[in-house]
């Protein structure tokens, strides 16, 4: 009886131990799927984070490539515009070169055509001074010498020669206008000389007692009518701006034909016109 009771207790203990063991085994078995699920979730999160990182990196690369593309496109547009400008400049330069070649050819033709005419003008200029009234002789002769030397100067351009010759002609033309007064000599006597344009020369001694006129045909001073002394004195005052301009009555000879000056000047075309002219 006592043994049966002990057996019962032992069986009970064994049963309890079995139940506890079973419960422990059941808990361990139930814990494995949860752990696996948690591990899977963690791995998924890590994979997602890595994927997002790669996406971000690819997005940055895409943006950088887009910026480089835009910069390259803008630069290509600028280079296209620059190339068009260079092409237009090159075309204009070619046109200018062609124009310069035409001008050079025209200048060469002009020099061939004008030099003989300018030399004839120089000869006429020299003859005019020799035949003209004897006034400002030193100044006019120096001007003639300068122009003559310039014409034979190989370093001087055609334009320089042309301009200087016309300047000399213009000065001679201006001598034909208005009155002028200067000092001169008749023999040993000093006189005031009145020039009336290119028409006549009159002289008056400094004391006003003797009057003279230049005889163009004889090429010398001749005594003038004493009645001209007052008029000559008045003309001298007007020439020196000490008296108002007024009419004077003085005898004059037929002047030297100076129309050659105006005709030759008008016959010369301007260098600019010739430079653009056609053959």
Residue-wise pLDDT tens digits, 171-189: 998 988 889 999 999 888 9
Nearest one of 141, 137, 113 to 125, comparing CA atoms: 141
Number of domains in the chain: 2
What is the pLDDT at residue 265? Answer: 45
What is the pLDDT at residue 198? Answer: 86
What is the pLDDT at residue 212? Answer: 94
Question: What's the average model confidence in pLDDT over 83-92?
Answer: 86
Q: Are residues 136 and 268 in the same domain?
A: yes
Q: Is there a domain that residue 96 lies in? A: yes
Question: How many residues are listed for the chain in this entry?
Answer: 279
CB 215 within 8 A of CB 205: no
Q: Are residues 204 and 144 in the same domain?
A: no
Q: Are residues 262 and 153 in the same domain?
A: yes
What is the pLDDT at residue 111? Answer: 74
Between 213 and 65, the higher pLDDT residue: 213
What is the pLDDT at residue 23? Answer: 52
What is the pLDDT at residue 58? Answer: 79
Q: Is there a domain that residue 23 lies in? A: no
User: With bands split at pLDDT 50, 70 and 90, how would you rate the model's confidence at 20?
Assistant: low
What's the CA gap between 167 and 146, in Å, rounded? 12
Q: Is there a domain that residue 21 lies in? A: no
DSSP state, residue 228: G
CB 207 within 8 A of CB 213: no
What's the CA gap between 89 and 220, in Å, rounded? 69
pTM as predicted? 0.54
What is the pLDDT at residue 31? Answer: 57
Range of 215's domain? 177-256
Q: Are residues 166 and 218 in the same domain?
A: no
The answer, yes or no, to whether residue 47 has pLDDT greater than 90, is no
Q: Is there a domain that residue 199 lies in? A: yes
Q: Are residues 72 and 123 in the same domain?
A: yes
Q: Is there a domain that residue 228 lies in? A: yes
Q: Are residues 147 and 192 in the same domain?
A: no
Per-residue pLDDT tens over the stretch 224-257: 998 899 999 999 999 998 888 888 888 877 655 5
Q: Are residues 150 and 185 in the same domain?
A: no
Q: Are residues 165 and 268 in the same domain?
A: yes
Q: Are residues 159 and 208 in the same domain?
A: no
Q: Taking all residues of the chain, what is their mean pLDDT, rounded to a whole number?
A: 80
What is the pLDDT at residue 274? Answer: 43
The answer, yes or no, to whether residue 258 has pLDDT greater than 60, is no
Per-residue pLDDT tens over the stretch 26-38: 555 555 676 777 7
Q: Are residues 182 and 121 in the same domain?
A: no
Q: Are residues 219 and 149 in the same domain?
A: no
Q: Are residues 248 and 138 in the same domain?
A: no
Token code pair at residue 230: 């007052």
Q: Which residue is it, tokens 């200087």?
A: 164
């Amino acid at each position: 009886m006592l043994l049966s009771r002990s057996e019962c207790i032992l069986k009970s203990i064994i049963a309890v131990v079995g139940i506890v063991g079973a419960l422990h085994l059941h808990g361990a078995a139930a814990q494995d799927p949860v752990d696996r699920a948690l591990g899977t979730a963690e791995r998924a999160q890590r994979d997602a984070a890595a994927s997002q990182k790669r996406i971000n990196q690819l997005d940055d690369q895409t943006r950088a490539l887009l910026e480089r593309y835009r910069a390259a496109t803008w630069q290509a547009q600028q280079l296209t515009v620059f190339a068009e400008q260079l092409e237009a400049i090159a075309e204009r330069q070619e046109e200018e070169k062609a124009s310069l070649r035409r001008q050079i050819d025209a200048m060469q033709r002009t020099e061939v055509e004008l030099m003989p005419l300018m030399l004839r003008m120089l000869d006429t200029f020299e003859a005019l001074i020799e035949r003209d009234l004897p006034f400002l002789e030193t100044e006019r002769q120096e001007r003639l010498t300068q122009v003559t030397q310039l014409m034979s100067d190989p370093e001087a351009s055609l334009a320089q020669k042309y301009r200087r010759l016309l300047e000399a002609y213009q000065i001679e033309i201006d001598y034909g206008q208005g009155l002028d007064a200067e000092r001169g000599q008749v023999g040993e006597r000093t006189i005031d000389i009145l020039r009336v344009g290119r028409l006549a020369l009159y002289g008056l001694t400094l004391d006003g007692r003797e009057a003279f006129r230049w005889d163009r045909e004889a090429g010398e001073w001749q005594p003038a009518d004493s009645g001209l002394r007052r008029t000559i004195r008045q003309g001298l005052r007007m020439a020196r701006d000490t008296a108002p301009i007024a009419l004077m009555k003085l005898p004059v000879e037929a002047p030297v034909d100076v129309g050659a000056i105006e005709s030759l000047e008008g016959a010369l075309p301007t260098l600019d016109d010739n430079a653009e002219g056609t053959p």
